[in-house]
Structure formats: structure tokens, C-alpha cells
Structure 1
């Protein structure tokens, strides 16, 4: 038992993609480009929302929070992954691993809840247009955003605390960061009771929000069909389509990773799925939300034009 306690507190070795050496150089270039685009795209949304009065609405208030979340979310894993891919240092301390697990879970859980809030905002915009400004009052918007952050961090605190009670055997993590499913694989005694508690927490933070989002969009679809207006359908699709794409990408990958039984979780597949929702999705979010958005395009050209004229 004494040797176990020593190994438990040792540094972990992050295997990363070292078992795919032929991919490491390509992945390093791919991830560097995507990470740069993530930083640029999400920072641009935050800056534009502060500079242009047309973007100071509930929708863009929540979108700013989503962009900030994505910046933090991807930064919690990518810099270390790039170092890992260069082969310089594949280790992470026990404390660093726990901190990374906590932060990653907290940010991911907050995004789960924030997407529900954004669905409610779209429901109010489409189904209650005359009362939209009254319903989505700035005080309510701020309260919903704060509640999302608090809920996300509380969920992470619960799951991380449960994880820390588990005895782990070995210090080689077959992943590029400390993620819950892969750490559960290192558990060296029967942990069914703890895993059951974790599973309940994951269902609450994943399935419950998805159910609320689908309910919101069912009401939106019903309201749009009642109008029997092609213009109304196009407006609703434009208003809600971007959010639905983001929800599908984010929840699809998260449900695949976190609601699988431990025994059926594939470590190699898990790496590539995690790569998708830690790097690709945060990069796509700004494009999905702004590619066909006239307000954001107008704000961008206005800022760029102001910068050109000032010269």
C-alpha cells in the first residue's frame, strides 16, 4: 500500500499521440493553425460586441460568454498538447492534472448550461417577439449567465472530488490531457459506487440540458409552422440554425465521450473525439454564428473602416 501512495502522487506521463508518430508533425501544424483561428475568431466577437451598439443585445451578450468560454476551454489543453507533440515534455504533475481536470470539466459544464440559456433566448425571440425585450431583461440575462458559470463549476467540483477519492494504479495517461474517462481507466479497485454518482452528474449536465433545448426548438418549430409564412420560416431558420449546429457538434461529442461505460471506452478513438471538441468546435463557433450574420459583418467592416480612415 505504501508503494501505491507514492506512485499515486507521482507525475503523470501523457502519452498523447506518441503511438502515432507519423501523425505528430501534421497534428502539430493543424492544431497550431486551428488554435490561432480560435483565438482570433472568438476574440473578434468579444471586441465587436463591445464596440458596436447593434451587437449589445441578449443574443450577443450570451455569445460573448460562449466565446470567452471557448477561449479558456481550448487554452486549458492546447498549449500543453503542442509541447507534447514536440516531444519536449510529456509529464504533468499530480496537482496539475487535477487542476486541468477541474478546469476542463468546469468550462465544459458551463458551456452545456449556457447553450440552454441561448436556446431560451431564441425561444423568446421567435415565440414571444412582442415581449422579447421585457422577458430578456439585462438583469435576467446577467443572472442566467452567472447561474451557468456557478452550475458548471459546482458540477466540476463534485466530479473532480469524486475522482480524487479513487485510488489510481500507474502514472501513464494514454491521452493528451487529464480527462475523466481516461483517468477512470487507471482506477485499480472496484469503483462502481463512485462511477454511478459520476454518471448521475453527467446525465444531469448533458441529457437534461439537451432535453430542454429540444423542447425549446419544438415550441419554436410549432410557432413557425403556425405562421405559414416563408419569410417567417427563413427568419426563424436564420435565428436558430446556428445555435442548433453548435448544440449538435458540442453535445454529440460530449455524450459520446462521457456517457459510455468505462469498459467500452476506446482510448485511441477518445483522443481524436476529444481533439474535435477541444480544438475544432471552438474554432467553428465564431464562423457558425457569424458567417451569415449581417450585423456582425457590418460591425467588422465598420471597425476595419474606422481603423483604415484613422491612418
Structure 2
């Protein structure tokens, strides 16, 4: 069908949290607090890893990359959402929506791949400790970090271009940001090809990495069980616990959001799930790695101690 058969849509309007109108000020305070905590926590982690030489290891290198990616990911969504909660425009241009979707998907997919790389790092450290420093040298780590960004944003380009080649007949996005499903719902016809493409990309970015991580942890647990002392097993597994918590939460929320079929009148449910993986998940990373990680807490004490001495 030709574009001339449709009315040209140049702007969209977010539904935002219209169903929670009487609670919007409360939502603003809650989301702003979580956003500030997210930025503060991730910035502290990145700078702590940069400053403290005890944290100059592959595991913490990838953690700093993940924290940086999570920070930009939250910046793509939350500031505009906060502005709408205090009465600023709910409208967004076609180009603005495409830009938001591109960066949203780019950082989201990158985070999925990064978690898989971090799983591989833990596998090498535990299953092949004598060659760990050789296998996971700085060049390998840098290459892996660059590769996940390239892969993430390449897939984002494909998905974004395919989405915005659709003909749109509706303008109300039943969401608080430009996500794949809400934008495709505005199409004049059911985008079957786009649905298939979205499924393929979800399989590549969610299912494949999660299966890879599952296999690595089967091998990791097998290696841990061979350790003679209970204290040694506990200490070794502790190095994986934070990563495992983040993985379960991250892939779990994303899978619910993109794999479970939608039913009618699910706007509130979709928004709740979206709030989980756009607001809470970026905050989870610094919280888990700071509260559960002894090395990070020790590094923070050293840095604070040095600052107080000066």
C-alpha cells in the first residue's frame, strides 16, 4: 500500500500515567529519588573502579562498563518521564520518538550482551584460574566491551528503521516512552513482518545470552562443588552471587515485557513492568554490587580514608 493512502503522522502523544492522575506528584518524587540514586550509585562505582587499583580486574572493568551503559539507558527515559509528571508536554515528534527508541534499544541490548560477557568472565576465573589473566587480558576485555556496543546498536538500527518504516494512523502511545510494542500498535495495519523481526531480535538478545549464562553457571557450579573446603566453595560462589542476582532480575523483567502476549486493557500492567526494567533495574546494579560485594566496600573505605587524610 502506498504512503499516499494514509494521513501523515508527524507527532505522537504519550498516555503517560493518566490512570494515576491523583498520584502523579507522588510518582514524581519517587522516580526522581530513584533516578538520583541510580546516577549517584553508578557514578560512584565507575569512579571507584577507576581510582582503586585493587579493582583493576576484568570483572570490575565489565562492571564499570555496565554501570556506564545503565546510566545512559536511564537518561534516555526518565528525564522526559519526570517532565511529563510535572505538567510539561506529553507530545513527542516522530523523529524524537525514533531517536528515543534507537538509544533505548541500543543500551538495553548492550546490557544483555554485557551480562553474558560477565558470565563468561566468571566462568574463566573459576574454571580456568591459572590462565585467567592470560585469557582475559586488557585487549580481550576491551574488544569484548566494544563488540557488545557495536552488536547492540547494530540490532537497534535494524529494529528502529523497520519500526519507523510503518505507516501510522494513530497518535496516542499507551505508554510513557517509545517502546517497540506501543509504537507498533499505532500502525495502520498489523505489522506481521515487524512482529517476526522483533521476535528474532528478542531471541538473539534475551534467549541466547540467558542460555549461554545458564550453561556457564552449570560449569561454574560443577567446578565449585569440586572444591574441598566448604569455606572455599562459599567464597568462590560469593564472587558470582551479585552477577547472578542482576542477571535473574534483568532477564526476568525483559522476558515478561517482550515475550508474554498482550491482552486487552493491559496498559497499567505494561506500565508496571516497564517501570521495573527502566527505573528499578538500573538502580539494582549499584545497590547489589555495593551492598553485597566486600571488595567494593573495602575500596570505598580506602578512597574515603584517603580523601579524609587530605
Residue 93 of structure 1 deviates from its aligned partner by: 1.0
Contact 2:175–2:271 (Cα < 8 Å) also in 1: yes
Show the counterpart of 1:4: 6
Per the alignment, residue 117 of structure 1 pairs with 117
Q: Helix, strand or coil for the counterpart of 1:187?
A: coil
**Local SS of the residue matching 2:19:** coil
Q: Contact between 1:18 and 1:85, CA under 8 Å: does it hold in 2?
A: no
Runs (4+) off by over 6 Å? none
How far apart are 1:263 and its partner, in Å? 5.3
How many aligned positions are there?
Answer: 308
Q: Indicate the SS of the match to 1:16.
A: coil
Q: C-alpha distance in 2, partners of 1:180/1:264?
A: 17
Report how far residue 88 of structure 1 moved. Answer: 1.8
Aligned match of 2:243? 243
1:1-311 to 2 correspondences below 5 Å: 2=4, 4-6=6-8, 8-9=9-10, 11-261=11-261, 266-310=266-310
Compute the displacement of 1:205 (Å).
Answer: 1.0
CA distance in 1 between counterparts of 2:200 and 2:284 reads: 30
Q: Cα deviations across residues 13-32 of structure 1 (Å, max 9, x unaligned)?
A: 11110121122111111101
Query: CA offset at residue 3 of structure 1?
Result: 7.8
Q: Deviations over 1:217-241 (max 9, x none)?
A: 0000111112243122212321111
Secondary structure of the 2:226 match is helix
* Cα separation, 2, equivalents of 1:208 and 1:83: 36
1:268 positional shift = 1.9
Query: In the aligned structure 1, how far is the partner of 2:265 from the partner of 2:201?
Result: 18
1:107-127, CA deviations, whole angstroms, 9 ceiling, x for partnerless residues?
000001000000000001111
Within 2, Cα distance between the matches of 1:196 and 1:265?
23
Q: Whole-Å Cα distance in 1 between the matches of residues 158 and 265 of structure 2?
A: 22
Secondary structure of the 2:13 match is strand
Q: What stretches of structure 1 of length at least 5 have no aligned partner?
A: none
Q: Which secondary structure state, in structure 2, belongs to the residue aligned with residue 22 of structure 1? A: helix
Aligned residues of 1:16 and 1:175 also touching (Cα < 8 A):
yes
Q: Deviations over 1:38-71 (max 9, x none)?
A: 0110000111111110011101100000000110
**What TM-score results when the alignment is normalised by the length of structure 2?**
0.95
Distance in 1 separating the partners of 2:292 and 2:204: 33
Q: Aligned partners of 1:147 and 1:266: how far apart in 2?
A: 36
Quote how far apart the aligned CAs of 1:2 are: 4.8
Compared CA separation, residues 117 and 45, structure 1 to 2 (3 A)? same
